[in-house]
């Protein structure tokens, strides 16, 4: 009888393979545990053991208790209390359990939110309203971005006095940058790259400068928008020619380079905020953002809180994820969140078709190869073998199908200017760039490398109909230069991120909008206006768009208000900008949204479009102190540890007090009715009460309230209806009761609450919604 050994052998093979697989898993798991990444460690500084003489020694000891090899990237003293270090997941978890550790948060990557405006804002004819240059010379604006091109004429310090005695910053040296690059205008320059390098490796100095020098252009553009000196005869390739100037021409500027080719990392951003606070800046401008997190996990929000406590206004871009709802960045209530609107200036470039029809577009193209005759016209989707050929991505076009022709490309995925470069590389003679539904009819001008124009979705569809219906389509592009006086303006930009606020819906964001479309400002000498590697043109000024551009407008205007009112808090300055903003055009009609062509809402424009001349004398302001924000965190049911992470000190929510988000003294109202609240109300309606306090910053006066409410579906009652102020800094409180029917509304309701003494109008937007 022969034994059947096949089955035992198979079993043995299975066991061996299983053991090898498990060993492999263990090896993989161990490898995963050994992988290191950056973490930001928040410490309860007040809990430092007495055995340590200095908090840095305690931080180091805590780190050594979990890792003998980890090194600190940064030690934070102002923006947060703690440090950044590179750790394994296991080490981070172990550190979290150590005494005195509030939280251990993983590094986050942030992205940038990427002339005529002073005149558009009324600054050219209203200089007498603003403080003398010697007062403005004491105001310092700190800009966290890609660095600075110090040779820009916008940093000319002619006429500037000595650097303010309050300034404690430095001008750091590095690749292609020395302390001599700073002057009495550009008084500080630092760079922060430890988080970036520990994650992505050493900076390649052949591609970007390991120094404050700006090789990208974005940082120079934002810093000169905020504070640039007057430069005569400025333009981009002849477009938008005139005098270029920032919002606060006499303010000083300090740059903090935190963004590199691979992005902006939270450990570097926190280190820059830490230094900027210590350097004694008065305003901070951050045109960057990342994913939204709870405030105690958001590095920018935490650093901004520390800055606010030191009297520094922090202005941040709202993001470029519009027009989708809930798309905002930087929504903490102690941050001024800025959306984008258009100017009354345009750069028309018309598409003339073979059938005699003309369609308007925009372009900043300037070159010898301007089109002078009708050329064959082709849709990119029909000149490609790729499913995404319509997008004109690299390598997707068939040269034989586009050579010598104008090509219609659809917007999306790759940069707009890169599409023109792809058409050029394939032999095309020109490009028409058509918006899709994602961008509607919003037009953004670009300095293309090829004769090109951008058209809206509606125009794009009409042109495509011509291409499909005509056997031999032809076209040409006519460039018309610069046009001003465009109406209506401003309108809310399509890309500008929209509310509601995804973290705290009861806080209305954005706060305000400012010019952010086709903005002329200083540029780097290291890159062309498109930023493409193949663009060898060099310009002193560039025209670009984004909430990155609107943010420094507000930062500069905040500097103007700080110069005029040095004793005002960040909250008072923001209140002045918000309560004097406008939502109606001078000749009537509500502010429009470019996406819909209809009136925009507070979820689009916040309080409205900034009006700096009116903001200088607001009459009344809604002021806030640090503890008011901490009480707000109590209303969100934050734990003491979570509040400590933001406040950098122990803070306990009083057990005998009821905390409500509706009591935060914010200059706007976001009223949220829970559906179950309205549906379960026995009285057939439900009410929510908000409390506010106004501070008089003007002459004595009696203010009467007016509620502007297009819809009667929600009742709004303000008590009292009159507030009498007899002296400067006097405070008066009022309540607003919002009453809604038991059946939830399917649409949001918008209103405005205005207080006026006949000279001032203190206006607050109201957004009412159901969840």
What pLDDT digit, counting tens, does each position of 521-575 carry? 999 999 999 999 899 999 999 999 999 999 999 999 999 999 999 999 999 999 9
The whole-angstrom separation of Cα 216 and Cα 196 is: 16
Q: Is the pLDDT of residue 21 over 50?
A: no
575 part of the active site? no
Residue 378 contacts residue 405 (beta carbons within 8 Å): yes
H/E element holding 448? none
Report pLDDT for 122.
Answer: 55
Q: Is 433 helix (H, G, I), strand (E, B) or coil?
A: strand
Q: Give the distance between the most distant pair of CA atoms in the chain.
A: 115
Contacts of residue 737, defined as CB under 8 A and 6 or more positions apart, other chains included, come to 687, 688, 689, 690, 715, 716, 717, 719
Count of residues making up the chain: 771
Q: Is the pLDDT of residue 464 over 60?
A: yes
pLDDT digits over 250-284, tens only? 999 999 999 999 999 999 999 999 999 999 999 99
Cα distances from 722 to residues 239, 620, 694, 757, 759, in angstroms, run: 51, 14, 12, 10, 15
18 part of the active site? no
Residue 351 contacts residue 453 (beta carbons within 8 Å): yes
Give the predicted TM-score (pTM) of the model. Answer: 0.91
What average pLDDT does this structure show over 322-343?
96
- Looking only at the bridges linking them, the beta strands covering 313-317 and 336-341 are parallel
What average pLDDT does this structure show over 396-412?
95
Question: Which of 626, 763, 767 has the alpha carbon at shortest distance from 692?
Answer: 763
Q: What count of other Cβ atoms lies within 10 Å of the Cβ of residue 297?
A: 18
Q: Is the pLDDT of residue 675 over 80?
A: no
Q: Is the pLDDT of residue 726 over 50?
A: yes
Higher pLDDT, 712 or 565: 565
Report pLDDT for 192.
Answer: 98
Contacts of residue 659, defined as CB under 8 A and 6 or more positions apart, other chains included, come to 631, 632, 634, 635, 653
Q: Which long-range contacts (CB under 8 A, 24 or more apart) does 631-639 make?
A: 631/659, 631/663, 631/664, 632/333, 632/659, 632/661, 632/664, 633/295, 634/659, 635/659, 635/660, 635/661, 635/663, 635/664, 636/504, 636/661, 638/296
Q: What count of other Cβ atoms lies within 10 Å of the Cβ of residue 474?
A: 17
User: Of 42, 81, 113, 218, which is the active-site residue?
Assistant: 218
User: Of 145, 215, 268, 593, which is the active-site residue?
Assistant: 145
| End-to-end Cα, the chain, rounded Å | 79
Report pLDDT for 16.
Answer: 37
Cα distances from 263 to residues 146, 285, 385, in angstroms, run: 10, 17, 34
Report pLDDT for 709.
Answer: 87
pLDDT digits over 611-643, tens only? 999 999 999 999 999 999 999 999 999 999 999
Of the given ranges (21-25, 120-124, 392-396), which has the lowest mean pLDDT? Answer: 21-25
pLDDT digits over 483-515, tens only? 998 899 999 999 999 999 999 999 999 999 999
Hey, CA dihedral for 566, 570, 575, 577, is it positive or negative? positive
Q: How confident is the model at residue 677 (pLDDT cuts 50, 70, 90)?
A: low
Question: Which of 734, 761, 757 has the alpha carbon at shortest distance from 665?
Answer: 734
pLDDT digits over 146-168, tens only? 999 999 999 999 999 999 999 99
User: Of 545, 548, 600, 668, which is the active-site residue?
Assistant: 548
pLDDT digits over 351-375, tens only? 999 999 999 999 999 986 668 789 9
Q: How confident is the model at residue 684 (pLDDT cuts 50, 70, 90)?
A: low
145 part of the active site? yes
Question: Which of 646, 680, 653, 686 has the alpha carbon at shortest distance from 503?
Answer: 646
Report pLDDT for 287.
Answer: 96
Q: How far is CA 104 from the centre of its chain?
A: 26
What average pLDDT does this structure show over 738-745?
79
Contacts of residue 299, defined as CB under 8 A and 6 or more positions apart, other chains included, come to 40, 105, 108, 266, 267, 269, 270
Report pLDDT for 11.
Answer: 39
Higher pLDDT, 558 or 412: 558
> What's the mean per-residue pLDDT of the chain?
90
Q: Is the pLDDT of residue 732 over 70?
A: yes
Report pLDDT for 119.
Answer: 54
Q: What count of other Cβ atoms lies within 10 Å of the Cβ of residue 745?
A: 17
The whole-angstrom separation of Cα 154 and Cα 226 is: 11
pLDDT digits over 114-149, tens only? 643 455 555 554 554 555 546 668 999 999 999 999
Cα distances from 608 to residues 197, 513, 582, 665, 667, in angstroms, run: 41, 6, 5, 19, 12
Report pLDDT for 63.
Answer: 95
Q: How far is CA 103 from the centre of its chain?
A: 26
Report pLDDT for 30.
Answer: 42
Question: Which of 295, 283, 293 has the alpha carbon at shortest distance from 661?
Answer: 295
Q: Is the pLDDT of residue 427 over 80?
A: yes
Q: Is the pLDDT of residue 481 over 70?
A: yes
Report pLDDT for 137.
Answer: 80
Q: What is the 3-state secondary structure (H, E, C) of 243-295?
A: EECCCCCCCEEEEEECEECCEEEHHHHHHHHHHHHHHCCCEEEECEECCCCCH
Q: Is 167 helix (H, G, I), strand (E, B) or coil?
A: coil
Q: Is the pLDDT of residue 15 over 50?
A: no
């Amino acid at each position: 009888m022969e034994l059947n050994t096949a089955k035992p052998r198979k079993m043995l093979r299975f066991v061996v393979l299983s053991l090898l697989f498990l060993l492999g898993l263990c090896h993989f798991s161990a490898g995963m545990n050994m992988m290191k990444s950056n973490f930001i460690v928040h410490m309860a500084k007040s809990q430092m053991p007495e055995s340590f003489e200095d908090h840095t020694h305690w931080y180091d000891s805590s780190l050594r208790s979990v890792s003998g090899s980890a090194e600190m990237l940064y030690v934070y003293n102002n923006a947060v209390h703690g440090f950044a270090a590179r750790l394994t997941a296991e080490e981070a978890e172990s550190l979290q359990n150590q005494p005195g550790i509030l939280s251990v948060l993983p590094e986050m990557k942030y992205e940038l939110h990427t002339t005529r405006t002073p005149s558009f804002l009324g600054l050219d004819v209203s200089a007498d309203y603003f403080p003398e240059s010697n007062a403005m010379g004491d105001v310092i604006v700190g800009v966290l971005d890609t660095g600075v091109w110090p040779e820009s004429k916008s940093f000319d310090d002619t006429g500037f006095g000595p650097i303010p005695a309050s300034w404690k910053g430095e001008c750091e040296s590095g690749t292609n940058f020395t302390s001599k690059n700073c002057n009495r205008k550009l008084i500080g320059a630092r760079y922060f790259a430890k988080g970036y390098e520990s994650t992505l490796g050493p900076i390649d100095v052949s591609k970007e400068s390991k120094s404050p020098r700006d090789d990208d252009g974005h940082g120079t553009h934002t810093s000169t928008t905020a504070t640039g000196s007057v430069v005569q005869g400025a333009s981009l390739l002849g477009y938008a020619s005139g005098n270029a100037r920032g919002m606060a021409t006499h303010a000083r500027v300090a740059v903090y380079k935190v963004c590199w080719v691979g992005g902006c990392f939270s450990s570097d951003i926190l280190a820059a905020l830490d230094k900027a606070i210590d350097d004694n800046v008065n305003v901070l401008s951050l045109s960057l953002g990342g994913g939204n997190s709870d405030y105690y996990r958001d590095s920018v929000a935490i650093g901004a809180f520390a800055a606010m406590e030191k009297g520094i206004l922090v202005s941040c871009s709202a993001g470029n994820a519009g027009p989708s709802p809930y798309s905002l960045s930087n929504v903490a209530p102690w941050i001024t969140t800025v959306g984008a609107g258009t100017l009354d200036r345009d750069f028309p470039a018309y598409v003339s078709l073979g059938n005699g029809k003309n369609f308007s577009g925009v372009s900043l193209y300037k070159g010898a190869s301007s089109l002078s005759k009708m050329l064959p016209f082709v849709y990119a989707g029909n000149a490609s073998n790729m499913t995404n050929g319509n997008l004109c991505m690299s390598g997707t076009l068939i040269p034989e199908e586009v050579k010598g022709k104008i090509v219609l490309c659809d917007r999306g995925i790759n940069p707009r200017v890169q599409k023109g470069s792809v058409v050029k590389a394939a032999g095309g003679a020109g490009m028409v760039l058509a918006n899709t539904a994602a961008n509607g009819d919003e037009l953004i001008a670009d300095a293309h490398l090829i004769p090109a124009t951008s058209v809206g979705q509606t125009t794009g569809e009409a042109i495509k109909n011509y291409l499909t219906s005509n056997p031999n389509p032809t076209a040409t592009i006519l460039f018309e230069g610069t046009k001003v006086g465009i109406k209506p303006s401003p309108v809310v930009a399509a890309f500008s991120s929209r509310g509601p606020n995804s973290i705290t819906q009861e806080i209305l964001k954005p706060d305000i909008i400012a010019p952010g479309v086709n903005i002329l400002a200083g540029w780097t000498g290291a890159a062309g206006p498109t930023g493409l590697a193949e663009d060898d043109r060099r310009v002193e000024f560039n025209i670009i768009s984004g909430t990155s551009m609107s943010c420094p407008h507000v930062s500069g205007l905040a500097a103007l208000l700080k110069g005029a009112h040095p004793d005002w808090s960040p909250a008072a300055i923001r209140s002045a900008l918000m309560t004097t903003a406008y939502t109606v055009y001078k000749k009537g009609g509500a502010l429009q949204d470019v996406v819909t062509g209809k009136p925009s809402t507070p979820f689009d424009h916040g309080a409205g479009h900034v009006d700096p001349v009116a903001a200088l004398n607001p009459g009344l302001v809604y002021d806030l102190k640090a503890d008011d924000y901490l009480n707000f965190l109590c209303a969100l049911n934050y734990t003491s540890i979570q509040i400590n992470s933001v406040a950098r000190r122990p803070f306990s929510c009083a057990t005998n007090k009821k905390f409500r988000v509706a009591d935060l003294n914010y200059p706007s109202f976001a009223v949220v009715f829970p559906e179950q609240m309205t549906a379960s109300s026995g009285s057939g309606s439900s009410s929510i009460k908000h409390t506010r306090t106004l501070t008089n910053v003007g002459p004595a006066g009696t203010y009467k309230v007016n509620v502007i409410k297009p819809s009667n579906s929600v009742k709004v009652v303000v008590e009292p209806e009159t507030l009498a102020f007899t002296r400067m800094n006097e405070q008066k409180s009022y309540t607003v009761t919002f009453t809604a029917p038991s059946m939830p509304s399917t649409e949001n309701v918008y209103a405005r609450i205005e207080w006026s003494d006949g000279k001032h109008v203190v206006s607050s937007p109201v957004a009412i919604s159901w969840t």
